[in-house]
Amino acid sequence: MVTVEERIKELKKRGFKMTPQRRAIIEALHNDHTHPTAEDLYNKVKRMMPDISLATVYNTLELLEKIGGVLKLEVIGGKAHYDPFTEPHIHLVCTMCGKIVDVEKPVPRIELSEEEKQGFRLQGYNIVFYGICPDCQRKLN
């Protein structure tokens, strides 16, 4: 797991300025394993930094995404979730409440032949499982 300091070092190395807002957002993201949305992070950071803007959270997440510092998960119901753990891994998504958890399992290696690639220059792939989480199963009864 990459640390907060490593992410910050990477940003500086690329010539971006370090600000208290960025540090707070990166820390909040790294201390949160629930795959928070931008708004979740905004609410967390606002407790320590009441004047921060939601736009700054979006800007910082976009910046992190560009340098490979966060995975943006656009899986269900219009709200993007962010994952600080950027190594390839499988996600498990609840189709009722949208909750996302990581699956601790080696990602199966899937290769596409040249024909299957259809001329695309491949960048990677995602595997997402769908299901109903324990909480929502309980609500069904």
Please give the residue ranges that form the binding site for DNA (CB under 7 A): 12, 16-22, 37-39, 49, 51-56, 58-60, 62, 78-80
Pairing of the two strands 81-83 and 90-94: unpaired
Question: What is the DSSP code string of 72-114?
Answer: EE--STT--EEES--S--EEEEETTT--EEEE-SPPPP----H
What count of other Cβ atoms lies within 10 Å of the Cβ of residue 85?
14
CB of 22 vs DNA, minimal distance in Å: 5
CB of 132 vs DNA, minimal distance in Å: 19
Nearer to DNA, 112 or 128 (CB): 128
Residue 79 binding result from DNA, its own copies, none, given CB thresholds of 5 to 8 Å by partner type:
DNA
List binders of its own copies among 83-112 (CB under 8 A). Answer: 90, 92, 94-95, 101, 103-105, 108, 110, 112
- Nearest residue to 62 (alpha-carbon basis) of 128, 127, 5, 16: 16
CA dist 135 and 76 (Å) reads 18
Select from 14, 67, 125, 139 the one that contacts its own copies (CB under 8 A): 125
Q: Which residues bind its own copies (CB under 8 A)?
A: 74-78, 90, 92, 94-95, 101, 103-105, 108, 110, 112-113, 116-134, 137
